[in-house]
Chains A and B, each alone.
Chain A
Amino acid sequence: MKFDAIIMGGGLTGLTAGIALAQAGRDVAVVSNGQSTLHFNGGTLDLLGCDEAGNAVRNPLNAIDALSDNHPYKKVGDVKALAEKAQRLLDGAGIATEGNAEKNHWRLTPIGGMKPAWLSLKGMATIDDPDHLPWKSVAVVNIVNYLDFLSPFVAEALRERGVQVDVKEFTTPELDEARKSPSEMRATNIAKVVERQDLTQTVADAINYCLDKEYDMVLLPAVLGISSGERGDQLLQLIDTPAAFVATLPPSVPGVRMQTLLRKRFQQLGGTFIVGDQVTGGRFEGDKLKCVTTAKLEGSVLEAENFVLATGSFMSRGLVADYNHIYEPALGVDVDDNGLNRANWAALEVTDPQPYMETGVRTDEHLRCSKDGTTIANLYAAGSILSGHNGIKRVDASGVDMITALQVANNILNS
């Protein structure tokens, strides 16, 4: 099968690149080995949240200069322009966001932590300044017996910052029915029950009923709106006081929604989305990749002018560490393993920066991969498979995904 571009990886990176290329009229296929890490995303994107000294970043654009030279941001042109483009791209997919690249805001985590963020999905609970909360009284409302949202933790974190907090619970007969499953009372299943049975009003009534007084803010677990943002917006409007969502443990409803809407947008633009298949190898000729094979399209290959490797890090199986070494399994491209071996690629304490996280695919200044030392002219890498950054410690994972994806799309369009 012939396309203009083949993208390996169907998560935030792959779909961002795919949409950008499809918008430019290219015939693009995305090959996705199962579903992506967006399913763990709590509805926010980060550009750069923490500098190398470990301090929270207020202005991400200003802090980029100080990053080490091998950070992927050093290989992209105008981060500000790309960041704006990313936000427009999300908007075009029906993902409304708030925030900008010049000023981080803070999001509330499912256990009451506060983390810097670049963009948050509309409706998510955010704060401009973690030292000055905008609320005096807050109700943290959970669904009875829903274990994946830690309302007492959120409450305590707010109390510590001087907020008056009440913890409330609600349920409805339909949610009680869903609770009969000991293992499947998950955010996404709650969302499906509410959508399928059209329960937004019922849920709103139940929430309003459990609120016995006025609050500045009502915080709810993000369990609404798996296929679009509409249900969530509706619910927030139906609640008597200002209300916002806080992410839950995964699978995360806002994350799944982002995945769904990006994929839909890509398909609407004529893109071919192949899910549940994986690239198993490629045919290289000189400094070019001619085609790739997949596990399931036996007998057929995927040919293209350009290829993008966006298969993610270890947890997405884009990188593999075995007993002896770290490698890239799809095409066997060169990896920056930083001279590490299994005795030292994992640090002793869990919160230490883990050296393995900075390993990844080696790229040149145009984000092109190399194989056996030869730069491959039409094979690019983007997202968390890139070496040189630790998305957890720098709080830059989704920014690296989107910004490098857009840069790669530009590089392809300009080549």
Chain B
Amino acid sequence: MTKSEVNNHYDVIVIGGGITGAGTARDCAMRGLKVLLVERFDYSTGATGRNHGLMHSGARYAVTDHESAKECIRENMTLRKIARHCVEETDGLFITLPEDDLGFQATFVQKCTEAGIRAEVIDPKQAIALEPSVNPDLIGAVRVPDASIDPFRLTMANVLDAQLHGAEALVYHEVIDILIEQGRVIGVKLRNNHNGEERTVYAQVTINAAGIWGSLIAQMAGVKINMFPAKGSLLIFGHRVNHMVINRCRKPANADILVPDDAVCVIGTTSVRVPIETCDDLRVTPEEVEELLAEGMKLAPSLGSTRILRGYAGVRPLVASDDDPSGRSISRGIVTLDHETRDGLAGFLTITGGKMMTYRLMAEEVTDLACKKLGVTKACETADKPLPGSEPQTPPNRKYSFSQRASYGRHGTLDWAVNRGDNTNDALVCECEGVSVGEVKYAIEKLHVYNLINLRRRTRVGMGTCQGELCACRAAGVMCDREQGAQKSIDDLAGFMNERWKGMQPVAWGDTLAEAQLTATIYQGLLGIDTMTKERRKEYYEI
């Protein structure tokens, strides 16, 4: 083989830059495999970046799905160790309201205990003392080890660790064809979504970890996976109303979880089956907003008077059970498909189902399978070794500035790599979230940032109260200085503001509408960006 051919050959290609793909790439790399991770847009653009950010204790599944509950609590404990900088140990409450059956509580606690989940019944008064925002009408409360987790950070940390172990990662590279030779997948054809260039890469094993889009990848390979895209919508509120996760103590239903994430809180989700063609451009409907609000106010009444920053929707990859010929029965838990045994197509594995919580376990399962096929015997270490950023370190001290503390929260121990201490780097780009010029530069250099949306996922630029009112423009200026030309930055900025609006539009009333008008006055009125945009972005799921 020539050198370029060597460079095009991998042990494993992982398709999909969500948490499952990133975790799988990490695991494969840690086992010593030569890995390529490919993602059509940015990391965590799919379901990974569009959920609650809830680190389940498993209690939610305890009554209905014992296996999932057990997996969750195990992974919950593991993530606390290996992903400390992505996790906030908030604990959670399962509350019973007057309209709920208090009898369910005993079953719930029993099932939790059976699954190994610490579930402690507490007095409603104590629950109010612990979590003052909770509905004061509650008649029962159970405390469980739920927590909050940042999916963007978690995914990025997995990618970084995969790279530290020799993996390569390509974002904005879309799989446009699966190459099959003699009943075996030998590689994939990629298109660079930035410049349209195509290239082919080869691997002994190709792992499909593309979430709901995994069914389309499978289709390319000529195999069929029955998936049901289930759209779930959520609302982000302007600040933290609650400090503990609040759930309803009843059978899982719509809009019954309120999670404190970073400086905001998130209520969700709705659930509705949608056609796969619509999955790249989902919008939250007025009916969904109404349901989320109505149910959310039952958990924490103050949500009724708290500003809503935006709404967003993700797609759960529900998979039909292989053993049900009708295709209606949904597989619970993790689905690992060896297409060699299932469909007679060697070199091709699919990992799907599951949940963000169990990504590491999913990665372990599929990596085990890949290793078996490749004759590699090294055991999985992902549960023991901390992710980059989560290594033990002394916590920040009181002298930390607002932005330094915020940055430490985002990058953990990797924060050392952010330049600060001089006027240039300390200047704030995003005032709501405390993102400094130094942090933006760090993200551009080290965290695969090509546009403002990438930057937002790495640093929270534009995720605060104003949704990019001044910071996006400042960030575009820094990006332009570092990387790209001015016109590209302006197109990027316009796309970014449209993406921010996409989430604000369904909740555009009150302060959010006033904010939107101010933002329009600045960007269109003062700056005139609407007359300067040349290229409109086509990647809908991205914007």
Contact = CB atoms under 8 A, between A and B. Distances in A.
Given A37-B521, A156-B487, A317-B514, A249 B473 contact: yes
Contact of A40 (B481, B498, B500, B526): B526
Contact of B513 (A114, A147, A346, A351): A346
Contacts of A342: 286, 508-509
B513 A145 contact: no
Given A249-B473, A346-B516, A113 B509 contact: no
Interface string A316-356: 01001111000000000000000000110111111100101
Contacts of B497: 350
Contacts of B428: 182-183
Contact of A314 (B480, B481, B487, B517): B517
Contacts of B513: 314, 321, 346, 356
Contacts of A42: 526
Contacts of A37: 521
Interface of B: 283, 286, 401, 403, 423-424, 426-429, 431, 436-437, 470, 473-474, 476-478, 480-481, 485-487, 489-490, 494, 497-498, 500-502, 505, 508-510, 513-518, 520-522, 524-533
Nearest to B499: A350
Interface SS of A by simple majority? loop
Contacts of A156: 485-487
A109 B514 contact: no
B165 to A, nearest CB: 36
Given A313-B517, A314-B513, A322-B510, A109 B528 contact: yes
A383 B119 CA distance: 60
A356 B498 CA distance: 17
A250 B516 contact: no
Nearest to A323: B509
A351 B530 contact: yes
B327 to A, nearest CB: 34
Contact of A152 (B477, B505, B514, B521): B477
A113 B527 contact: yes
Contacts of A401: none
A196 interface: no
B520 A350 contact: yes
Tell me which of B497, B510, B527 has the highest count of chain A C-beta atoms within 10 A of its own C-beta: B527
A152 B480 contact: yes
Nearest to B496: A350
A153 interface: yes
Contacts of B516: 346, 354
Nearest to A390: B520
B518 A147 contact: no
A36 B308 CA distance: 25
29 contacts: A40-B525, A40-B526, A111-B527, A112-B532, A113-B527, A115-B528, A145-B427, A147-B474, A148-B470, A150-B476, A150-B480, A152-B481, A152-B489, A153-B490, A156-B487, A157-B486, A160-B487, A182-B401, A182-B403, A182-B427, A249-B470, A249-B526, A314-B513, A350-B497, A350-B500, A350-B501, A356-B513, A392-B521, A395-B525
User: What 4 A-B pairs come out closest when comparing CB atoms?
Assistant: A113-B528, A156-B486, A350-B501, A346-B508
Given A315-B521, A354-B520, A321 B528 contact: no
Interface residues of A, number: 56
Given A182-B401, A323-B510, A250 B525 contact: no
Interface SS of B by simple majority? helix
Nearest to B505: A346
A357 B501 contact: no
A153 B481 CA distance: 10
A76 B352 CA distance: 66
Nearest to A252: B526
B496 to A, nearest CB: 10
Contact of B518 (A155, A182, A315, A322): A315
Contacts of B494: 351
Given A152-B489, A348-B505, 6 more contacts: A144-B424, A148-B470, A153-B486, A315-B521, A342-B508, A349-B498
Interface string A43-64: 0000000000000000000000
Contacts of A180: 423
A377 interface: no
A391 interface: yes
A111 B514 contact: no
Given A321-B510, A350-B498, A153 B480 contact: yes
A247 interface: yes
Contacts of A110: 526-527
B484 to A, nearest CB: 10
B526 A250 contact: yes
A182 B526 contact: no
A217 to B, nearest CB: 19
Contacts of A371: none
A279 interface: no
A332 B517 CA distance: 21
A313 B513 CA distance: 11
Nearest to A183: B428
A176 interface: yes
A346 B473 CA distance: 23
B508 to A, nearest CB: 4
A306 B109 CA distance: 69
A111 B474 CA distance: 11
Contacts of A176: 423
A351 B524 contact: yes
Contact of B529 (A111, A315, A354): A111
A185 interface: yes
Nearest to A395: B525
Given A152-B480, A249-B470, A357 B526 contact: no
Contacts of A264: none
Contacts of A152: 477, 480-481, 486, 489
Contacts of A354: 516-517, 520
Contacts of B520: 350, 354, 357, 392
A397 interface: yes
A350 to B, nearest CB: 4
A179 interface: yes
A252 B515 CA distance: 18
Nearest to A107: B528
A255 B283 CA distance: 38
A249 B109 CA distance: 56
Contacts of B514: 314-315, 317
Contacts of A252: 526
Nearest to B524: A392
A180 B531 CA distance: 35
Contact of B527 (A41, A109, A317, A345): A109
Contact of B525 (A179, A182, A392): A392
Nearest to A255: B526
Nearest to B523: A350
B270 to A, nearest CB: 16
A88 B437 CA distance: 44
A375 B428 CA distance: 50
A111 B498 CA distance: 18
Interface string A99-115: 00000000001111111
Nearest to A320: B510
A179 to B, nearest CB: 4
Tell me which of A115, A153, A247, A323 has the highest count of chain B C-beta atoms within 10 A of its own C-beta: A153
